[in-house]
A and B are shown apart, each in its own frame.
Chain A
Amino acid sequence: MATELGPTPVKGPASGGTPIHHGPKGVGEDNAIASQGKWASWLLAPTIVALAIVIVYPIISAIVMSFQKDAGLDPVTGLFTAGGPAGFSNYTNWLFQQCAAPGGGTVACPPGTLGSQFWSATGTTFYFTIVTVTLETVLGFWMAIIMARTFRGRSLVRAAVLVPWAIPTAVTAQLWLFIFAFEGIGNKLFNTTILWTGSEIPARWAVIIADTWKTTPFMALLILAGLQMIPAEVYEAAKVDGATAWQRFRMITLPLVKPALMVAILFRTLDALRMFDLPYILTEGSNNTTTLSILVVNQIRQGFNSAAALSTITFIIIFIVAFIFVRFLGANVVEQQTGAGKGKK
């Protein structure tokens, strides 16, 4: 590494790149800034190397793998042989549910193959995301408003609220598995005989309840941070003008907390789209609780290359959702923020 880096600092000033900044400045100052920029890029280099290794390389490698066939079986020796190039067959396996046919060629994936579960898993993932994020936002907002008030033991409440968030998800899932067992506390408490993990609607709601329990505190704290940015004077002024509580919430709290709220929702949405441990432990993906991440993990055990294609698809789906948030909803956030800033002045 040292030999590669060695000559380059010499080359840097020699190439004497044009400074990016402009405007009337002394020559000395100009040089100082130029060398500062150079230093900055060298100081950033280790980070960029690290990012290239842990982010760029795996993504590229996954994409390359996704165009390779999974190992097939040599019928004579009974040994696996490398699959060779696959074209887009790994992608059509998922997107168009085309599975390999016994005699060669493809057939519609029969129920029981992972390929046949792609669209239902996508639907399940979005169903979980929309329902849990909505519930968590509403409940989190409510909790944040309570915590924003001043009362005795407020810091204790804030710390206590974080407990579910601090428990590792796998432990949470195991905990709820006991609660939702047929002979578990859930059924005993309400005197019901619901097969929580054994039928579709309860199974989905078991996951939703556990997830909401776990991540609402996270939402609440992010929203609380936003709430505390709102100056008290604004509320006082509104009160003087005779605004009702509802009006104050709608016209002051909501718009001013929106930037923090949008960031919180974005985080939670991206998180929920990757949901894995809760349904995996609670239901093993039965009864339509298989999310895309569970499908990826199941596929990894059957063949890496097809799993690489699926994780690339998942990556693109999440990327699109994030893009929509930042581009369309996030643009609003920026506007609101500057607007609010001006208002304060």
Chain B
Amino acid sequence: MKTPKFLLPVATAGVLALTLSACGGGGGGTTAGSDAEQGLDGRGPITYVQGKDNSNVVRPLIEKWNAAHPDEKVTFKEQTDQADQQHDDLVQNFQAKNANYDVVSVDVVWTAEFAAKGWLQPLKDKMALDTSAMLKPTVESASYKGTLYAAPQNSDGGILYYRKDLVPTAPKTWDEMMGMCTIAEENGIGCFAGQYAKYEGLTVNTSEAINSAGGAVLDAEGKPNLNTPEAKEGLENLASAYADGSIPKEAITFQEEQGRQAFQDGKLLFHRNWPYVYNLAVTEGSSKVKDVLGMTALPGKDGPGASTLGGHSAGMSVYSKNKATALDFLKFLTSEETQKFYATQGSLAPVLGALYDDQELVTKLPYLPVLKTSIENAEPRPVTPFYPAVTKAIQENAYSAIKGEKSVDAALSDMQKSIESASAGQ
């Protein structure tokens, strides 16, 4: 007992730290109880959480809402523009049961995870939202186990850009497109490229290839379904095109921007990318494809391919106290007027099918008809609560397969096993 005086403050500190840890903990538990307890009828100010509002569409919309609803004002909480950080921020706030995250913008690939965690209010019964006018794939991507968990807000799909001056007629199928690679060869440019660097874009391109060949990464039950001839054909298409040079070697480092740059510099005959490329390719001064830019749906096996769906939905937190207001706000976000504003102001693809045939919009955004075909044929990215593990499994193995370090069969079977293991929980 030589140092009791010293130990005392330390012990105090320890007790404090433990007290603190007790505060930090907190059990799970599901929301139950009456409508009032769940805040289903609650009205009042709410917060809308979304990533960085780069094209300034959210603020004007919220101003408009606030002017019409002075007692139910919406506050905008802006996150960073990094998807991963947005995801982590949402997870932290949901775990802390933060009642101030009333309505949140959810990337289509997070829906299942958040729904399975019990963080999103199911949009059924009293909270139902009319989705009849929306494109079906967008609704599917906001649903989990047959229940709608978020309001599709904007969509996105892949488009095949091509050189109108070199390609006489746009290819409809993958084989047709590969047949046209001789044109690229004659002109000394690369034939086709998407995004094949090891990141989320590779998951998009891989599942597109597999879906377009008639396969699926996950079956309807959410189980991996990769040991199929269709899946093999899909991945084989990419791997063999890369091996024979139809997909140029450097495409293995391409994310969206590098691919767009290569296409704009006139180094690619065909290019798979998102609709945002259109505006840049026709307006940027350095673009060499300004006047010869062609657009068509992604090529599939016998017709249009199955694009992977992008976009965001608006979900309602189960911890929100003012769910009635939140539901009204979701309806406002998916209204025709708002959707039109999204399209014109932010170049965000609408979820309402009718808008794609709106003459005024089509003049402004000429890619809309192609995008409609793309989204109508689109498959959601694998819908699973284990999405982070699934996307890693796809990236890791597809990357090896495309580079030829692993056979397509081995890659698919490893993918299958990895996803099975991830879904089994650890």
Contact residues in B for A56 (Cβ distance below 8 Å): 14, 17
Chain B CB within 8 A of A69 CB: yes
* Residue of B5, B9, B262, B415 with most chain A CB atoms under a 10 A cut-off: B5
Name the residue on A nearest B252 (C-beta). A198
Q: Are A78 and B116 in contact (CB under 8 A)?
A: yes
Partner of A71, one of B20, B392, B393, B425: B425
Chain A CB within 8 A of B15 CB: yes
Q: Are B253 and A195 in contact (CB under 8 A)?
A: yes
Per-residue CB proximity of B214-229 to A under 8 Å, as 1/0?
A: 0000000000000000
Given A284-B197, A302-B386, A49 contacting B118 (CB threshold 8 A)? no
Per-residue CB proximity of A41-69 to B under 8 Å, as 1/0?
A: 11011001101110011001100000001
| Bound form: Cα–Cα A203–B425 in Å | 32
Given A53-B20, A302-B386, A93 contacting B252 (CB threshold 8 A)? no
**In whole Å, how far is B9's beta carbon from the nearest beta carbon of chain A?**
4
| Bound form: Cα–Cα A196–B418 in Å | 28
| Bound form: Cα–Cα A15–B9 in Å | 14
Q: Are A79 and B118 in contact (CB under 8 A)?
A: yes
Name the residue on B nearest A110 (C-beta). B417
| Bound form: Cα–Cα A8–B425 in Å | 49
Chain A CB within 8 A of B310 CB: no
Name the residue on B nearest A300 (C-beta). B88
**In whole Å, how far is A195's beta carbon from the nearest beta carbon of chain B?**
6
Q: Are A12 and B396 in contact (CB under 8 A)?
A: no
Contact residues in A for B233 (Cβ distance below 8 Å): none
**In whole Å, how far is A7's beta carbon from the nearest beta carbon of chain B?**
11
| Bound form: Cα–Cα A101–B425 in Å | 8
CB contact list, A301-339 vs B, under 8 A? 301-303, 306
Q: Are A48 and B10 in contact (CB under 8 A)?
A: yes
Per-residue CB proximity of A187-227 to B under 8 Å, as 1/0?
A: 00000010111110000000000000000000000000000
Q: Are A44 and B16 in contact (CB under 8 A)?
A: no
Chain A CB within 8 A of B87 CB: yes
Q: Are A73 and B5 in contact (CB under 8 A)?
A: no
Q: Are A182 and B258 in contact (CB under 8 A)?
A: yes
Contact residues in A for B75 (Cβ distance below 8 Å): none
Chain A CB within 8 A of B12 CB: yes
- Interface size, chain A (Cβ < 8 Å): 72
| Bound form: Cα–Cα A303–B389 in Å | 9
- Interface size, chain B (Cβ < 8 Å): 63
Per-residue CB proximity of B129-162 to A under 8 Å, as 1/0?
A: 0000000000000001100000000000000000
Q: Are B12 and A17 in contact (CB under 8 A)?
A: no
Chain B CB within 8 A of A99 CB: yes
Q: Are B8 and A12 in contact (CB under 8 A)?
A: yes
Given A79-B118, A111-B418, A73 contacting B426 (CB threshold 8 A)? no
* Residue of A4, A73, A90 with most chain B CB atoms under a 10 A cut-off: A73
Q: Are B250 and A198 in contact (CB under 8 A)?
A: yes
Q: Are A285 and B198 in contact (CB under 8 A)?
A: yes
Partner of B426, one of A99, A195, A287, A300: A99
Chain B CB within 8 A of A255 CB: no
Name the residue on B nearest A42 (C-beta). B9
* Residue of A42, A49, A60, A89 with most chain B CB atoms under a 10 A cut-off: A49
**In whole Å, how far is B1's beta carbon from the nearest beta carbon of chain A?**
7
Contact residues in A for B426 (Cβ distance below 8 Å): 69-70, 83, 86, 89-90, 93, 99-100, 303, 306
CB contact list, A151-200 vs B, under 8 A? 181-183, 193, 195-199
Chain A CB within 8 A of B421 CB: yes
Q: Are A1 and B425 in contact (CB under 8 A)?
A: no
Partner of B415, one of A41, A82, A112, A182: A112
Contact residues in B for A71 (Cβ distance below 8 Å): 117, 425
Chain A CB within 8 A of B33 CB: no
**In whole Å, how far is A75's beta carbon from the nearest beta carbon of chain B?**
9
* Residue of A104, A109, A110, A183 with most chain B CB atoms under a 10 A cut-off: A110
Per-residue CB proximity of B387-426 to A under 8 Å, as 1/0?
A: 0110011101101100000000000001101111111111
Name the residue on A nearest B8 (C-beta). A8
Contact residues in A for B385 (Cβ distance below 8 Å): 73, 78, 80
Q: Are B389 and A113 in contact (CB under 8 A)?
A: yes
Per-residue CB proximity of B56-91 to A under 8 Å, as 1/0?
A: 000000000000000000000000000010011000
- Residues of B whose CB lies within 8 Å of any CB of A are 1-6, 8-10, 12-17, 20-21, 24, 28, 30, 84, 87-88, 115-118, 144-145, 197-199, 249-250, 252-253, 258, 261-262, 265, 385-386, 388-389, 392-394, 396-397, 399-400, 414-415, 417-426
Task: Give the top 8 A-B pairs by smallest Cβ distance, nearest first.
Answer: A112-B418, A72-B425, A45-B9, A110-B417, A286-B198, A182-B250, A112-B393, A100-B424
- Residues of A whose CB lies within 8 Å of any CB of B are 1, 4-5, 8, 11-12, 15, 17-18, 20, 37-38, 41-42, 44-45, 48-49, 51-53, 56-57, 60-61, 69-73, 78-80, 82-83, 86, 89-90, 93, 99-104, 107, 109-114, 181-183, 193, 195-199, 283-287, 298, 300-303, 306
Q: 9 other contacts beyond A4-B15, A57-B20, A306-B426, with CB at 8 A cut-off?
A: A4-B12, A41-B5, A49-B12, A49-B16, A73-B423, A110-B418, A111-B396, A193-B249, A301-B87
Enumerate 30 A-B pairs (CB-CB under 8 Å) in ascending A order.
A4-B12, A4-B16, A8-B8, A17-B2, A17-B5, A37-B5, A42-B9, A45-B12, A49-B16, A52-B17, A53-B20, A57-B21, A61-B24, A71-B425, A73-B423, A78-B115, A78-B145, A79-B116, A80-B118, A80-B385, A93-B426, A100-B425, A112-B394, A112-B417, A112-B419, A113-B422, A114-B392, A182-B258, A301-B388, A302-B388
